[in-house]
Amino acid sequence: MARIFITGSADGLGQLAARLLVQQGHQVVLHARSPERAREALAAVPGVETAVSGDLSTLAGMRSVANQVNQLGRFEAIIHNAGIGYREPRRGNTADGLPPVLAVNSLAPYVLTCLIQQPARLVYLSSGLHRDGDASLQDLTWEKRPWNGYQAYADSKLHDVLLAFAVARQWPDVLANALEPGWVATKMGGPGAPDSLAQAPVTQAWLAASDETAARVSGQYFYHQRLRAFHPQAADAALQDQFLASCAELTGVAFPPASSPGLPQ
pLDDT in tens, the chain (265 residues): 899 999 999 999 999 999 999 999 999 999 999 999 999 999 999 999 999 999 999 999 999 999 999 999 999 999 999 999 977 778 999 999 999 999 999 999 999 999 999 999 999 999 999 999 999 999 999 999 999 999 999 999 999 999 999 999 999 999 999 999 966 445 565 566 556 567 889 999 999 999 999 999 999 999 999 999 999 999 999 999 999 999 999 999 999 998 654 443 3
Residue 192: per-residue pLDDT: 61
- Let me know if residue 265 belongs to a domain: no
- Let me know if residue 172 belongs to a domain: yes
- Let me know if residue 262 belongs to a domain: no
What's the domain count of the chain?
Answer: 1
- Let me know if residue 257 belongs to a domain: no
> What contacts 89, CB < 8 A, 6 or more positions away?
149
- Active-site positions read 153, 157
- Let me know if residue 119 belongs to a domain: yes
The CATH number linked to 134 is 3.40.50.720
Residue 264: per-residue pLDDT: 38
- Let me know if residue 123 belongs to a domain: yes
Residue 45 is part of which domain span? 3-251
Residue 90: per-residue pLDDT: 85
Query: What are the pLDDT digits (tens) for 203-236?
Result: 999 999 999 999 999 999 999 999 999 999 999 9
